[in-house]
Amino acid sequence: MTTLNTQPNFASAGQRPRHAYTPGDDFYDALIAAHRGLSDGQSELLNARLVLLLANHVGDLDVLREALALARRGVTAAATAP
């Protein structure tokens, strides 16, 4: 059974980054850029659409359930923190 990959995993095909942080920073930059100029409501919709697209791409329900649980655990922990 495949499990959720929680290790850094961003990469560009055929490219070998000189610095480990570069592909992740590239993604984050693109993500922030995708939100630029949107209202808060539009940003929420963008995030939701993105989750659904990526979930479909992953496909494996075991992996998705694991990701859902991990994501939720952090949220409820934050909600109960002082």
Partner 1 sequence: MLATYTWPRYEYRRAPELGAATLQRVPLVIVGAGPVGLAAAIDAAQRGLQVIVLDEDNTVSIGSRGVCYAKRTLEIFDRLGLGDRVVAKGVTWNVGRTFHGEREVFSFNLLPEAGHQRPGMVNLQQYHLEQFLVERAMQFPTIDLRWQHKLVSVTPGDDGVHLEIDSADGRYTLHADWLIAADGSKSGVRRQMGLDVEGKVFQDRFLIADVVLDGEPFALERTERRFWFDPPFHRGESALMHRQADNVWRLDFQLGWEADPETEKDAERVRSRVRAALDQQGFAHIGFELEWVSVYTFQCRRMAKFRHGRVLFVGDSAHQVSPFGARGANSGVQDADNLVWKLKLVIDGAAPASLLDSYDRERGKAADENLLNSTRSTDFMTPKSRAARVLRDAVLSLAVDVPAGRALVNSGRLSVPTVLTDSPLNTPDTEPFEGWMVPGAPLDDAPVRDAAGREGWLLAQTGSGFVLLRFGLPNAIEMAAIDALSRRRIALHPLLVLRPGERAPAGQAWAEDSVGLAAARCDARPGSTYLIRPDQHVAARWRHFDAAAVRAALDRATQQAPS
Binding stretches for partner 1 (CB under 8 A): 5-9, 18-21, 24-25, 28-29, 31-32, 35-36, 38, 40, 43, 46-47, 70, 74-75, 78, 81
Q: Which is nearer to partner 1, 43 or 58 (CB)?
A: 43
- Min. distance of Cβ 52 from partner 1 in angstroms? 17
CB atoms within 10 A of CB 28: 12
* Angle at CA of residue 53, ends 44 and 27, nearest 5°: 75
- Min. distance of Cβ 5 from partner 1 in angstroms? 7
> How many CA atoms, within 13 angstroms, populate the side-chain half-sphere of residue 52?
6
